[in-house]
Structure formats: C-alpha cells, structure tokens
Amino acid sequence: MANDANHLHTKAIHGGLDPAAHRGAVSVPIYQSSTFAFPSAEEGAARFAGTSPGPIYTRMGNPTVQALESCVADLEEGCGAIATATGMAAISTVFLALLRNGDHVVCTDPLYGATRTLLTRYFSRLGVTSTFVPATDNAALAAAIRPETRLIYVETPANPTLDLVDLAAASAIARAAVIPLVVDNTFAGPHLQRPITLGADVVLHSMTKSLNGHSDVIAGIVIARDPAMLAVLRDAAIMFGMTIDPHQSWLVLRGIRTLGMRVERAQQNAIAIARWLEQHEEVAWVRFPGLPSHPQFDLAQRQMSGPGSVIAFELRGGTEAGRILMNSVRMITLAVSLGGVESLIEHPSSMTHKGVPVEEQRRQGITAGLVRLSAGCEDLDDLLADLAQALACVAVASPPRPRVSA
C-alpha cells in the first residue's frame, strides 16, 4: 500500500505495512525472535548467499525491523534504510563505514555535542582528521575540502542554535568534489525536510525524537540514496552490532503512524510561542526558522516545508535568568531531548553540549545563557501561561538589562 502513497501523512500511516505478509495483521507484529528457522539446508545457504530474502538472525535482519526501515526510507525518498539501536549508533555506523585511517571529514558547526566528541576524541585516535566550518558559510565549506577529504557531514537545523545549512549548495559542493554528503535530519524530520531530494547521499536520524515522538524509545536510522551506499552502511551496522531490536522497532513504527499530526501540532505551538517570546520584555533574542528575524528565514522557506518545533532564545538577564526560568516552569519539563508530545526545556551549554569546550561553544554561537525549548502538543494557552509565570519569576529576580540582537 505504501508504494501507492504520494503524500507524507499516508506514507507515515501505511509505510512498511503489507497485511498479506503478516496473516492479515493491520499492525506489523513484533517478531521477538533472535533467529529464524530455514525450511531446508538449501534455503539456509541461499539466504546466507543473499539470493533469498528470508530472515536469518535478528542482528542481520528482522521482519519488524524491516517494516520500520521500509517506512522511513519511503518517507525520506531513499532506496532503503538501516535502523540502529540509538541515534549515536546511526552516526557511528556512517563514520565507521565511510572513514578510514588518513581520511578527512568536513563538518558544519554547531553539531550535536556527542557527534563532535565522537570525531575529535575517538576517530582522531584512528587517524581521521576533522575540520569544522560555520553552517551558514558555503564558501568555507568548499574551501575546507582537501585531497584526503572523504566525507561532508552537516546538521540542519543545527543543534542548538538553529543555524541552517543550504542543502542544495552543500550537495553541489559535494558532487563537484565527488564526496558523499551526509545530513543529520533529526531536528526537521522527513515531514518538514527531505535532504535526499536536495542532493544528499545519506540521511540519518535519532528516531528517539520526532519519529518516535513519545520519549519512550532510544533508536536511530540511516537512509541511503542508492543501493551501493546502502550495502556499505548495512555491512558496517551488522558487523559492529549497531542494529535495533524488534520491540524497539515496533514502538517507533507505532509512533511514526501519528508523525504528521504530532509534528504539525507541535510546530503550530512553536510558531506561536516564538512570536510571543520575541515580544516579551525579559527576552533578549529568539532564534527560530519560522520567524522573519531568523537570518536565514528565506532559506528556511525554500528548503523546509515548516520551521519545526525547537526554539532557541536568551533572556536579558543572561545565564542566571535562564536558570531561574528553567527552575520555575511547572508543566514544561526540564529535560534534554526534543520532538516528543511533551514540551521540554534545557540549557545546552551545561547539558547537551557540555562536552564541547567553552571557547568552541562561544565560537559556534552557543552562549552561556542560551535556552532550548522543544514545543510539544499541549494546549497552547497552557504553555504560554507556564512560560508567563516562569518569566514573571525571572522579572522579580533579575535586574533590568538592555535588549540585544541575536
């Protein structure tokens, strides 16, 4: 049925599901089995040879996992996907599959803190070097390429500043250099941005976020444009044991069925909250791709079908005001992560990006007082009321400071 779907809501609901393949089940069953029986020795040999598609062993493939992979690959318009145990397993799979001793990777800044740490602390031990350039600077991206560069890795919108990478421009740079372009599409997701259609070779997600959407699963996925790349990535994921388990897969697949509705509701809330924050006297600046004040608003309009649900902002009172705000919210949850049905608030400098040196944080625009808010699906009036009472606590405790630009 998914093969006949042209629209994202339909793909999300029907993707990966073929009732005829599962005894008529309209929900893909959980195939909670580590291994699968062969009807004959000849069939077992054929499966290991790759000439028969039947399952062998769950680390190598599982019907529930395959349903999830098919669904997300369809949403991202790739040729296939590899579901992994975590988002970091997805990132590690890409690096392990595509980089070797002596290679160089160009990345945009900022990145999720653990991604940067993985390259600078661990892959550097394996002889892989990295260059980080501003997400907004296409010229710097092109200039950073060396003869030994084997990968361009970007994240857009960037975590946590919401800077954008021009994916069409980055794809052109990658093609000219004959280097794969890998895009972390976690913040936008396939409902709002499809990098493969803009020229990317590989797309990855932390499915923990909006794809699952319920803050109850840790998972990741890697999607490839062409079968040759998919085979390389799948081999690495299997050999290093990065693959996901069937129950996790089923939970994520269930979450994806409501992806469009959840994302649109959360995004509506985020747009209204960002506009409200931008007018609040305690707020110094707001960074959100859906606001005309975002420096790359026009790019967001071109390459995204919506701005998403994550907002970055800073209070006039700086770090201390942000601390008071986060300690004063009553309904919004003080926790890391994003993309769930509940609204979450956190402090990147001391939390998600703590592993990035302070001087690097500042260079990337991660200020000491930056607050990241992931809008959820609650009633907007309740969210605004919670923020209003928390900002009232800030106003009582903070001396007046001049408003500054982002």
The catalytic residues are: 59, 112, 184, 209
b/e for 138-151, b at 16 or more Cβ within 10 A?
bebbbebbeeebbb
DSSP 8-class letter at 102: T
Nearest Cα residue to 181 out of 96, 282, 94: 94
Q: How many residues does the chain have?
A: 406
According to DSSP, the β-strands at 310-315 and 283-287 are: antiparallel
Are the C-beta atoms of residues 19 and 10 closer than 8 Å to each other? no
Query: 343: which 2 tokens?
Result: 């609204």
Contact by Cβ (8 Å): 205, 90: yes
Distance CA 335, CA 329 (A): 12
Residue 73 near residue 80, CB atoms below 8 Å? yes
User: Encoding tokens for residue 55?
Assistant: 């399952």
Residue type, 340: G
Both tokens of residue 14? 């029907």
CB-based contacts of 261: which residues, under 8 Å, 6+ apart?
9
User: Which is it for strands 202-206 and 149-155: parallel, antiparallel or unpaired?
Assistant: unpaired
Report yes or no: 132 and 109 within 8 Å, Cβ to Cβ.
yes
β-bridge pairing 202-206 and 181-184: parallel
CA-angle at 121, arms to 117 and 126, nearest 5°: 125
